[in-house]
Amino acid sequence: DIVMTQTPLSSPVTLGQPASISCRSSQSLVHSDGNTYLSWLQQRPGQPPRLLIYKISNRFSGVPDRFSGSGAGTDFTLKISRVEAEDVGVYYCMQGTQFPLTFGGGTKVEIK
């Protein structure tokens, strides 16, 4: 199974300041079809998960452009350019390249 490791576990951020979350996979996420199925999800308190970014860097419909994804191979990053109050929650990376699909352990973003 592909292990997804996220850092940090927790990220206290000042409103308006940037935040960055890293995700490392135990093996390459490049699929045989050439795509890299690395997604980022946001889960606000009491809510289901919501897709933010798919295939490393593609923002899903309705996602603000302050969210961006980057990376390749086994190392990936989610950046929030200016954190807003509504961004509080837990963020997960997920690989969809190989079954079983696996998630990172989550990073809690909170306001200082």
Partner 1 sequence: EVQLVESGGGLVHPGGSLRLSCTASGFTFSGYGMHWVRQAPGKGLEWVSCIGPGGSTIYYADSVKGRFAISRDDAKNSLYLQMNSLRAEDTAVYYCARSRQVDVWGQGTTVTVSS
Give me the least distance between CB of 79 and partner 1, in Å please.
Answer: 19
Beta carbon nearer to partner 1, 71 or 104:
104
Among 11, 68, 81, 103, binds partner 1 (CB under 8 A): 103
Give me the least distance between CB of 90 and partner 1, in Å please.
Answer: 8
Exposed e or buried b per residue across 38-71, where buried means at least 16 C-beta atoms within 10 angstroms of its C-beta = bbbbbeeeeeebebbbbebbebeeebeeebbbeb
16 is a site residue for partner 1 (CB under 8 A): no
Please identify which residue in the block is written with the tokens 């990936």: 76
The answer to whether 45 and 100 have CB atoms below 8 angstroms apart is: no
Distance in angstroms (rounded) separating the CA atoms of residues 111 and 63: 20
Q: Which stretch binds partner 1 (CB under 8 A): 9-17, 21-29, 64-72, 103-111?
A: 103-111
Segment 33 to 92, residues that bind partner 1, using CB under 8 A: 37, 39, 41, 43, 48-51, 54-55, 60, 90, 92
**In DSSP terms, which residues pair with 78 in a beta bridge?**
21, 69
The answer to whether 57 and 70 have CB atoms below 8 angstroms apart is: yes
The contact set with partner 1 (CB under 8 A) reads 37, 39, 41, 43, 48-51, 54-55, 60, 90, 92, 94, 96, 99-106
